Amino acid sequence: EAGVTQFPSHSVIEKGQTVTLRCDPISGHDNLYWYRRVMGKEIKFLLHFVKESKQDESGMPNNRFLAERTGGTYSTLKVQPAELEDSGVYFCASSPRTGGWNEQFFGPGTRLTVL
């Protein structure tokens, strides 16, 4: 069974540009989570999808971040326009419908560098 995949693995962009990160959860997992770790800081929750609906987006830092999960399958996280402080590693995780955060499977992450 394929695990959670994320694309790209690395992205280097300039301040002001737009970047879109993609996450493909494990097939059949209704719950999808986004997290990020900025340099030197802790991994922090961004938002949680249940299928295509945003269950909780309280961790989104500001309105430059937009997450979508059309059709309840893969998800995208767009940063527009990117700022220097957005640099870090963005993780996606998924869990089964009846599972919670404790049954999450994480992807390898996307390392975003904003210059």
Partner 1 sequence: LAKTTQPISMDSYEGQEVNITCSHNNIATNDYITWYQQFPSQGPRFIIQGYKTKVTNEVASLFIPADRKSSTLSLPRVSLSDTAVYYCLVGPISSGSARQLTFGSGTQLTVLP
- 53 belongs to the binding site for partner 1 (CB under 8 A): no
85 binds partner 1 (CB under 8 A): no
- The reply on whether position 97 binds partner 1 by CB under 8 A is no
Residue type, 1: E
E strand map for 1-115? 5-7, 10-13, 19-24, 31-38, 43-50, 53-56, 65-68, 75-79, 88-95, 105-106, 110-114
Closer residue to partner 1 (CB): 38 or 81: 38
Tell me the backbone φ, ψ of residue 8, rounded to 5 degrees.
-80, 175
Per CB under 8 A, does 101 bind partner 1?
Answer: yes
Stretches 13-21, 61-69, 70-78, 97-105: which one binds partner 1 (CB under 8 A)?
97-105
Quickly count: other Cβ atoms within 10 Å of residue 1's Cβ: 6
Contact segment (CB under 8 A) with partner 1 among 13-21, 54-62, 66-74, 77-85 equals: 54-62
Q: Assess 16 for contact with partner 1 (CB under 8 A).
A: no
Considering only residues 23 to 42 of the shown chain, the ones binding partner 1 according to CB under 8 A are 33, 35, 37, 42
CB of 92 to partner 1, least distance (A): 8
Dig out the tokens for 96 from the structure: 């089964």
Which residues have a Cβ under 8 Å from the Cβ of 70 and sit 6 or more positions away?
52
